[in-house]
Structure 1
Amino acid sequence: MIKPPAVRKSVWRYSFWVCAVGILVMSLAPISTPMPTTGWDKSNHTLAFAVLALLGRWAWPGRTAVVLSALLAYGGLIELLQSFTPDRFAEATDVLADAVGLLLGAGFAFLLERWRPARKGAQ
């Protein structure tokens, strides 16, 4: 198995949890709250879950399927929680955007892991 960039797993796990909590807070905050955005709701979901997938893959190497499955359930939980807020609403297409982000993030992590050793050996 190819290892993620040389940083302690605890750093990746801390980063993962900070991002996961930040995404939850931004997802449940009132729409009137100023937040960073890509300009399109679905790309916000895709980007957020791509970052979580990348961090999750590096925080728990060898458990990618479990991490991605848990993150997809997390996306569903966020949508469920949004349905209980006064100015947010649940959308199935948001979970689809989350899934696309998970695949992109895990794929990008895989490519970075493959590229890093080849580059290191070339120097």
Structure 2
Amino acid sequence: MPLDKYKLWFRLLFVIVTVAICLLAFAKPSSDIPSLGYDKLNHFIAFATLALLFDYSFPNRTVTLFMTLLSFGIFIELIQGLIPSRDTSHCDIVADLVGITSYLLLQPLRAKIHG
């Protein structure tokens, strides 16, 4: 894979994006928080992005990618259920799952482009 030399940078970016998602997920809901206008689209984009960064950071670990990111999505929802101003949403987990799965379905195309 030609991008192997950038693995460390992808890992750093993966951590930064993960922390940013946690900050957004655990913050008090506000209109000041960046959004794409539809919460499920936010989840879809966030988890498709995490899947791409995870894949570039840890190539050829599809099952690990899937299980780690799905667990992270469930973890976020469980923690949100404990925060007074937030709610747990099963639909958010589904949107996370669709984002992860969409990336995995398109991953062969990405692999073909980048080798």
Q: TM-score, normalised by structure 1?
A: 0.85
Partner residue, 2:76: 78
- Listed as ranges, the gaps of 5+ residues in structure 2 are none
Partner residue, 2:93: 95
Deviation sequence 1:27-49 (CA, Å, 0-9, x none): 01000261211110101000000
Contact 1:46–1:100 (CA<8 Å) still a contact in 2? yes
Partner residue, 1:114: 112
- Listed as ranges, the gaps of 5+ residues in structure 1 are 118-123
Aligned residues: 115
Rg larger for: 1
Partner residue, 1:121: none
Q: 1:100 to 1:9 in 2, by over 3 A?
A: same
Partner residue, 2:50: 52
Tell me the distance in 1 between the aligned counterparts of 2:108 and 2:26: 31
Q: TM-score, normalised by structure 2?
A: 0.91
The one of 7, 11, 36 equivalent to 1:13 is 11
Q: Give 1 or 2: higher helix fraction.
A: 2
